[in-house]
Amino acid sequence: MFDIPAPQSQNGLSRPAQPLVLGGVEAPQLKLTRLLESQKKIKENKSKPINFSQPILWQKENPVFFPKTINVIQGKAGVHKSRLAETICAALLKTPDSNRDLLDFKTNLLSRYAVCYVDTERNLSDQLPYSLQQIQLKAGYTIQDNPYGFDYISLLEFAREERFDMLNIYLEHIRKQFPMHLFIVLDVITDCVFNFNDTKDSMKLIDMMNQSINRYDVTFLCLIHENPGNTDKARGHLGTEILNKASTVLQIGFEKDAQNHNTDLIKVNFLKCRSSKKHDPFFVQYSNEEKGLVMADPFSTQAILDKKNHKAALSETTELLAHLLQPEMPRKELIEVLVEELDCSKRTVVSRLKQITDNAVVIVQNDENFTLCTRAANKEIIFYLSPLKSDNLE
């Protein structure tokens, strides 16, 4: 496990970095000393204004990961979990002169991060090296570069009963190597313990991560498979516990069509956002040209979603809006009418209206082009159509 830090006593002297032990067991009085030192730190922090940490990563304007947290990407096998992690790593390592778009992920250009990738699944001859190459290329480096702050190992050649200890040894090593914030990716976390269904093995790993984020400048991103079938549950007891402890949980998976078959559209959903409001999902696709994930075109996305859910289809909704908004209508009344006319839920209508306004979908009324807009009036939201200038259509 990481070394225990050396807190300052009241007289300014540091106590030993490692707790004293008697017969291999830490003495009760020394345990109490550690506990009271922790209490003192909490009391000091409680007595002054709290300045919450800024995110280390955003997706568009939405904060995604915060420092000193445990985070998760979950999904079925083969849904590009690792490629999503590659893109996130590239965003953290991105060079200042790189203009590569990375799924709209961005970080603070004034901060530096060390990315440490721990892999447990891919072979060492081509699969893992290729993935590491993609991270470097997306970040603005060449494959021949060895960027400072980018480290990686594989636990594949170690027996499962050895992997927790090897992970501990490695984490202590990189903490000394890089005097900056460590972003540690565990891909996949269930392979880092002997038995991911065992309570003792699972909590041993989670406790180690919790201790690390409280003592050091460390953030974890853990990749985990979901159970086969239609369930969204992450695998094993470890999956249950890691989701409870996680600050942000991303779920990635193929969007289904009306026949429940996979489409090319991939949905990235925010299952949990402890440090912010829950964000709307975003959609990506795999690109052969980019050798990775790219943002999906919003209109193609909507077409696929419309095929999945025929209710409140985009074309039908815009036709109704053209008919109803002559010239305007309060939000509550408009939603009630659309729910009845489209035979769908209020939630579906609200979602469709948001998509139409956010994407500036063209609405044709009397052979003229409009966009859907809103304004406030007497504590009400009013929907109306705004003329679309011809130059906006070019």
3-state SS, residue 149:
coil
**Least confident interval from 54-58, 121-125, 301-305:** 301-305
Is residue 390 pLDDT above 80, yes or no? no
pLDDT range class, residue 260, cuts 50, 70, 90: low
pLDDT band at 270 (very low <50, low <70, confident <90, very high): very high
- Torsion, Cα 34 40 44 50, to 10 degrees, reads 50
CATH classification at residue 353? 1.10.10
**318 has pLDDT over 80:** yes
The gap from C-alpha 317 to its chain's centroid, in whole angstroms, comes to 32
| Strand intervals (E) in 158-288 | 181-187, 218-225, 248-256, 262-273, 282-287
* Model confidence at 49: pLDDT above 90: no
Q: Is 87 exposed, middle or buried (0-12, 13-18, 19+ CB in 10 A)?
A: buried
Same-domain pairing of 300 and 313: no
CA–CA dist 205, 298 (Å, integer): 40
Task: Indicate whether 193 and 287 sit together in one domain.
Answer: yes
The predicted model scores a pTM of: 0.71
User: Between β-strands 150-154 and 113-119, what pairing exists: parallel, antiparallel or unpaired?
Assistant: parallel
Q: Are 179 and 165 members of one domain?
A: yes
Predicted confidence band of residue 68 (pLDDT cuts 50, 70, 90) = very high
Report the amino acid identity of residue 385: L
Where residue 258 falls among pLDDT bands split at 50, 70, 90?
A: low
Alpha carbon distances (Å) from 266 to 40, 78, 289, 378? 48, 11, 17, 41
Six token digits for residue 321:
């809006």
Phi, psi of 75 (to 5 degrees): 175, 165
Q: Are residues 253 and 105 in the same domain?
A: yes
Where a domain ends, among 304, 329, 357? 304
Same domain, 238 and 346: no
Indicate whether 277 and 293 sit together in one domain.
yes
Task: Check whether residue 145 and residue 181 sit in a common domain.
Answer: yes
Q: Is 94 exposed, middle or buried (0-12, 13-18, 19+ CB in 10 A)?
A: buried
- In sequence order, what are the beta bridge partners of 387? 370
Residues 241, 106 share a domain: yes
In this predicted model, what pLDDT tens digit does every residue of 165-212 receive, in sequence order? Answer: 999 999 999 999 999 999 999 999 999 999 999 999 999 999 999 999
User: Which phi and psi angles does 7 have, rounded to 5°?
Assistant: -65, 155
Q: Are residues 330 and 208 part of one domain?
A: no
- Quote the tokens at residue 379: 């504590």
- 22 plus 117 within the same structural domain: no
* CB neighbours of residue 225 within 10 Å: 22
Three-class SS of residue 198?
Answer: coil
Number of domain units in the chain: 3
- Between the CA atoms of 140, 144, 147 and 151, what dihedral angle is there, to the nearest 10 degrees? 120
**Tens-digit pLDDT profile for residues 320-372:** 999 899 889 999 999 999 988 887 888 888 888 988 888 888 899 888 899 99
Q: C-alpha distances in angstroms, 272 versus 14, 65, 249, 338, 359?
A: 39, 11, 5, 31, 25
Question: In the chain, at which residue ranges do the beta strands (DSSP E only) sit?
Answer: 21-22, 25-26, 57-59, 62-65, 70-75, 105-106, 113-119, 150-154, 181-187, 218-225, 248-256, 262-273, 282-287, 292-295, 328-330, 363-365, 368-377, 380-387
In 3D space, the residue among 156, 228, 218, 233 whose CA is nearest the CA of residue 187 turns out to be 156
Mean pLDDT lowest among 1-5, 24-28, 335-339, 379-383: 1-5
- Separation of alpha carbons 186 and 153, rounded Å: 10
pLDDT for 259: 61
Strand ranges across the sheet with 181-187: 150-154, 113-119, 181-187, 218-225, 70-75, 248-256, 262-273, 282-287, 292-295
Domain residues for the domain of 14 are 1-51
Instruction: Please state the rounded mean pLDDT for residues 70-90.
Output: 95
Kindly state the tokens that stand for 234.
């992450």
pLDDT top residue among 33 and 230:
33
CATH number (domain holding residue 198) = 3.40.50.300
Domain boundary among 246, 272, 304: 304
Residue 38 and residue 71 share a domain: no
Q: Which of 237, 269, 304 is the last residue of a domain?
A: 304
Same domain as 212, residue 358: no
Q: Which pLDDT score, from 0 to 100, does residue 385 have?
A: 93
Tokens of 251: 């779920």
pLDDT at 26: 64
